[in-house]
Amino acid sequence: MHIEKTRLFATLSNAVRLRCLYLLASNGEVCVCEVVEALGITQPAASKALTGLKSAGLVRDRREANWIYYRLESELPDWIGTIVRATVAELNNCATCVADQQRFKRLVARPRALACP
C-alpha cells in the first residue's frame, strides 16, 4: 500500500477527520449515522470527513443495506501505523474527542436499529 506523506499529513490536519479517526480507533467499525450522533455534525460533514480518511488510505468502508460502516485500515505500513497510534494516544487528551466518545457510548441502539436520516 502506498500512501503519500503529504496527503497523510494534510488529511490529519483537519479537526473533524481527527475526531472521526479517534472514534474509529476507539470503537472499531462505526456507521456514518453513529459518527453524526457522536460528533454532533451533519451527515454530509461526516461523510466528507470519512471519505477524506478513506481517500488517504487510512480507513476502509463497507455497505450494508442503507448503512455505510467505516473502520481503520488494518494493513497500514508500519510508519503510518506508528503515526496513527501516536495521534490517537494524543487525542486521549482532547476534551472534544473525549466528549465525542462519551456521546458514542450513550447511543442506545447501535448500529442497525439507529435510523440514518
Using one digit for the tens of pLDDT, what is the confidence trace for 24-33? 999 999 999 9
Query: 5-105: which CATH topology?
Result: Arc Repressor Mutant, subunit A (1.10.10)
Does residue 15 surpass a pLDDT of 90? yes
How would you classify the pairing of strands 59-64 and 67-72? Answer: antiparallel
pLDDT category, 108, cuts 50, 70, 90?
low
CA distances 9 to 27, 33, 79, 85, 98, Å, are 23, 26, 13, 14, 22
| 7: Cα within 13 Å, side-chain hemisphere | 10
- What percent of the chain lies above the pLDDT cut of 70? 91
The pLDDT, as a whole number, for residue 3 is: 79
- Prediction pTM value: 0.90
